Amino acid sequence: MMITPHIWRALSLLVFTTLGLAACSTTPPAGVTPVTGFELTRYSGKWYEIARLDHSFERGLDNVTARYTPQANGTVEVLNRGYDSKEQKWHDATGTARFNGASDVGSLKVSFFGPFYGGYHIVALDPDYRWAMIIGPNPGYLWILAREPKLPDNIRQQLLQQAKTLGVDTQQLIWVEQNRQDS
C-alpha cells in the first residue's frame, strides 16, 4: 500500500492528537494526594492568585483572580481574570471544571479549550477556606490562592515547604501583584 500525502497528514494528525491528549493528564501526579472532605459550596466565589509558576496562558498578568461558580449540571464555571500592564487591559478566560471522581475530593479537571482538560488538584486547603494550594498535572503547575490579596507569612512558608516536598521548584514561583480593583 502506498502512503499518499493525504494519508500521511491524517496519520500525523492522529499521532499528534493522541500525544497531545496524553499530555493533558487530569489525574494527580505521583505522590500527590488531593484534599478530602472538600465542599464545593465553600470553595465557590472569588480567590486571589498569590503565587504561580509561569506559563504562557498567564504570562505578563498581574492582579489575577479566579471565580468558581457551581452549575446546575454538576460542573463548575471557572472565570480567570488578570490585568496586562503592557496592554493596559483586563483579560478574561472562562472554563469548565468537572470532578475527577467523588465531589468531596479536591481533584478536578479544567478546560478552557474545548475538549482538552488539565488536572486541578487541591493539595492544601485552610479549614475555613481562606487559602488553597493547587498542583496541576505535574509539579510544573502550581498556584497558591487566597480569599484576600495577601497571605500571612507563616502560611506562605508552610505552603512553600509543602510545595517543595511535592517536587515543585519554588524558586521559580511568581508572586502576583494585587494592586488594582477588579473592574
The one-digit pLDDT tens for each residue of the chain (183 residues) are 444 443 334 333 333 333 333 345 788 888 899 999 999 999 999 999 999 999 888 899 999 999 999 999 999 999 999 999 999 999 999 999 999 999 999 999 999 888 889 999 999 999 999 999 999 999 999 999 999 999 999 999 999 999 999 999 999 999 999 998 765
CATH 2.40.128.20 fits 31-175, yes or no: yes
**pLDDT for the residue numbered 16:** 33
* pTM check: above 0.95: no
Give dist(CA 2, CA 10) in Å, integer.
Answer: 14
**pLDDT for the residue numbered 24:** 58
